[in-house]
Amino acid sequence: MPEVAFSFTIPSLHDDAVLDCRVYLPSSRIRAEHASRSDILGAVMAHPYAPVGGCYDDPVVLGAVEELLRQGCFVGTFNFRGVYGGNGRTSWTGKPEIQDYISFAGFFAHYLDLVQQAIPSNPSMPVTPSQLHPESAVDPKLQSAQDLRPPFKLILGGYSYGSVIVTRLPPLRDMLSGFRHPEDGTAASEILQRARTISSWTIEKVEAARRANARRLTPSITMGGEETPSDQRRVSREGGGHSLDLEGLRRSLDIPRRIKEHRSHTRSREHTPSSTEKSDHDDEDMPSIKVQYLLVSPVLGIVGSALSAFGAHGDPADVKTTLAKEPTLAVYGDKDIFTSTRKVRQWAQRLSSNSDRFWAVEVNGAGHFWRERGVTAKLRSAIESWVTKLQAASR
């Protein structure tokens, strides 16, 4: 079982339901003296349907996590609402779960962005927690031209029900827009603060491991509670004034990202940028990310159709465009009891014929739960080959 580096919670953007989260660190890359900013590769892996026992401890999820770690990925997992009868309830529509995924993806994207900023452009330079100070971590203008951050790669993945939620996500740019300028005390603000804390701890772990040349990273850290003082937290409820829906996220594209504490107030008074200038600046200021998708045992048919009908991003044409536009791997078994193999093959062939970025791997003899002899190794092999291709293409 892969070793967890950080266990913590974040609130869901939907209604502040508490989501249990984990971050895993790739030990081989953490200790590599030659590691640089361009090496950053992250992955999020979502679990199966909670009412039937789905959670981030699912064996298939953990197997994928282990393989992604072996390939040098920073990996994040989280529990959707309703796991173990916890905070929040599983919905019939999938809308709250989409927001749960966006909440963690927003955390993880900003977390990786901060970690990347703390890694020097020259691999021989030390990595120090001081580089995560807000004044040097959020303003690209403080970096020289040769020190600008390259895009890092982020895999948005899911298994079973988790893969259905992934196909319902809006574009990453829309997902991150809700984190640009959050009001103090809101869920988005709390998520960003948690990203800063976990990223700072990550850099400390990296430096400790490199200095000691340790075989194992420092022990796992568990963090509960919230970053924001309770008297300042503005808790939203489903249908309440502060609950963020996806349409609201799309409308917020013209809203600038959070105000930088160190920006000159005099300069702000001298020149008020137009909405176009704000939008251009926001694009430059957002984390630079190349997104990919990983779908394990994608569910078509009844469950998939239900989420397509009620999901916030449910236009099948949009889904096909997203999966065909960005590098995507779909791995499925030909003995899956929840989805017709013929339908999955047709679906994969349609996407593959329209794009060379869509890969589909059918595993002979594998069922939906990947319990048959030898099939887990084939699943991991498919992930390994795909990630290797992604890394080779970026060099």
pLDDT confidence of residue 269: 40
Is 275 part of any domain? no
Q: Is the pLDDT of residue 275 over 60?
A: no
CATH code, 124:
3.40.50.1820
pLDDT confidence of residue 124: 55
Tokens of 330: 């779909």
Q: How confident is the model at residue 128 (pLDDT cuts 50, 70, 90)?
A: low
Determine the number of helices (DSSP H) and then strands (DSSP E) in the chain.
14, 9
Tokens of 193: 């603060």
pLDDT confidence of residue 289: 92
pLDDT confidence of residue 27: 80
Is 277 part of any domain? no
Is 276 part of any domain? no
Is 26 part of any domain? yes
pLDDT confidence of residue 91: 87
pLDDT confidence of residue 280: 45
Q: Is the pLDDT of residue 56 over 50?
A: yes
Is 267 part of any domain? no
Tell me the helix, strand and coil percentages in the chain, rounded to 5.
45, 15, 40
Which 8-state DSSP code applies to residue 188?
H
Q: Is the pLDDT of residue 196 over 60?
A: yes
**Which pairs with CB-CB distance under 8 Å and at least 24 residues apart come from 310-316?**
310/92, 310/93, 310/94, 310/95, 311/93, 311/94, 311/95, 311/98, 311/168, 312/95, 312/98, 312/168, 312/170, 312/245, 312/246, 312/247, 313/98, 313/168, 313/169, 313/170, 313/246, 314/168
Q: Is the pLDDT of residue 8 over 90?
A: yes
Of 319 and 46, the structure prediction assigns the larger pLDDT to: 46
Calculate mean pLDDT across residues 238-266: 36
pLDDT confidence of residue 307: 42
pLDDT confidence of residue 241: 34
Of 235 and 53, the structure prediction assigns the larger pLDDT to: 53
pLDDT confidence of residue 233: 59
Which 8-state DSSP code applies to residue 254?
G
Average pLDDT of every residue of the chain: 78
Task: Count up the domains in the chain and report the number.
Answer: 1
Calculate mean pLDDT across residues 252-268: 35
**Residue with structure tokens 């002979």?**
364
pLDDT confidence of residue 33: 53
Q: Tell me how far apart the alpha carbons of residues 40 and 287 are, in angstroms, rounded to a whole number.
A: 13
pLDDT confidence of residue 251: 34
CB distance 319 to 350 below 8 Å: no
pLDDT confidence of residue 215: 54
Q: For the segment 86-96, what is each residue's pLDDT rounded down to a tens digit?
A: 677 888 888 99
Enclosing domain of residue 144: 6-262+283-393
Q: Tell me how far apart the alpha carbons of residues 351 and 170 are, in angstroms, rounded to a whole number.
A: 18
Percent of the chain with pLDDT over 90: 51
Is 375 part of any domain? yes
Is 271 part of any domain? no
CB distance 88 to 82 below 8 Å: yes
CB distance 150 to 119 below 8 Å: no
Q: Is the pLDDT of residue 119 over 90?
A: no
Contacts of 191 (CB under 8 A, 6+ apart): 10, 11, 13, 103, 106, 107, 110, 179
CB distance 44 to 156 below 8 Å: yes
Calculate mean pLDDT across residues 210-226: 69
Is 270 part of any domain? no
Q: Is the pLDDT of residue 274 over 50?
A: no
Q: Is the pLDDT of residue 14 over 80?
A: yes
**The whole model's pTM is what?**
0.80
Q: How confident is the model at residue 73 (pLDDT cuts 50, 70, 90)?
A: very high
Lowest mean pLDDT among 8-17, 232-241, 346-355, 362-371: 232-241
Q: Tell me how far apart the alpha carbons of residues 67 and 153 are, in angstroms, rounded to a whole number.
A: 16
Q: Please, is 34 exposed, middle or buried when counting C-beta atoms within 10 Å of its C-beta (0-12, 13-18, 19+)?
A: exposed
